[in-house]
Amino acid sequence: MATVPTIRLNNGVEIPQLGFGVFQIPPDQTAEATRTALEVGYRHIDTAQMYGNEKGVGAGIRDSGIPREEVFVTSKLNNNRQSRDDVLRSFDETLAQLGFDQLDLFLVHWPLASVSDYVARWKAMEEIYASGRVRAIGVSNFQPHHLRNLFAGTEVRPAVNQIEAHPYLGNDEARTFNAQHEIATEAWAPIAKGRVTGDPVITQIAERVGKTPAQVTLRWHVQRGDVVFPKSVTRSRVEENFDLFDFELDEAAMAAITGLDRGERTGPDPDTFAYIPD
């Protein structure tokens, strides 16, 4: 089984660079999907309160027989948890759903700057971190200007910023800012929700190196230094997406994929997104 490299976060915690995402996996299929990913070799699962499937992630890990401490698990604060008490309570719920005493990484899912106070939410995240029940805290979908505001009013630097990034959205301004401030970048929708599979440039590179377009794209992320967690409910793809460590892209291939950037998002714009569920 391939060894997945780890990345050292700014507080010394190590995170596997390749994980498994469970967004849009129905709750009743999540335990099985998680078990499959663990069987294939993944040791990092990315979920969120909003996905409604934390319980399945916890069950899948327990069913697998793999010791809890060998699997890195991330969850994210739902957008409707605003007050300090709501943030603290919802973290307790996350631990209860997962059946864990401690979480590896907890993220603020969206800044929601037009409708909420993300600095206040971050202060509640700092309290959770200080309690020792989470090994690292971070943010998701934060632009550099959101991070600057956070730095000005709070103590703990986010360990990661999980942002949309793939060949059609390089997101290099945010990635560079993250790197300059010792914040690890995690790239969500790493294969642009499957769109890269039909790309002529990526397909040509894939044929040349004897890999698939998804593998070439995931390898491009790994070589850029970002953390990725492709999602799939299809076992053969879960295996395919894990098989990234027996080849390397040369500079020309890296540049050709980077050159596909056209600022195209598959999801909401963090500067305008303001969705708060009931």
Residues at the contact surface with ligand NDP, assessed by CB under 6 A: 21-23, 46, 109, 140-141, 162, 188-194, 197, 214, 229-234, 237, 240-241, 267
Mapped onto helix, strand or coil, the DSSP state of residue 65 is coil
80 is written with which tokens? 């409707």
Say how many C-beta atoms besides its own lie within 10 A of residue 40's C-beta. 17
Please give the C-alpha separations between residue 253 and each of 18, 42, 66, 208, 261, in angstroms, as whole numbers: 21, 26, 37, 10, 14
Q: Tell how strand 6-8 and strand 14-16 pair up.
A: antiparallel
Q: How far is the CB of 223 from ligand NDP (least distance, A)?
A: 17
State the Cα–Cα distance between residues 142 and 112, nearest whole angstrom. 9
Nearer to ligand NDP, 82 or 241 (CB): 241
Q: How far is the CB of 199 from ligand NDP (least distance, A)?
A: 12
* Residues 56 and 29 sit within 8 Å (Cβ to Cβ): yes
Residues designated as active site: 51
Q: Please name every residue paired with 8 in a beta bridge, in sequence order, or none if there are none.
A: 14
State the Cα–Cα distance between residues 229 and 129, nearest whole angstrom. 23
Q: How far is the CB of 215 from ligand NDP (least distance, A)?
A: 7
Say how many C-beta atoms besides its own lie within 10 A of residue 250's C-beta. 12
Comparing every residue's Cβ against ligand NDP, the nearest one is 21
Q: How far is the CB of 227 from ligand NDP (least distance, A)?
A: 10
Nearer to ligand NDP, 21 or 82 (CB): 21
Q: How far is the CB of 130 from ligand NDP (least distance, A)?
A: 24
State the Cα–Cα distance between residues 164 and 161, nearest whole angstrom. 10
Torsion sign across C-alpha atoms 11, 129, 125, 21: positive
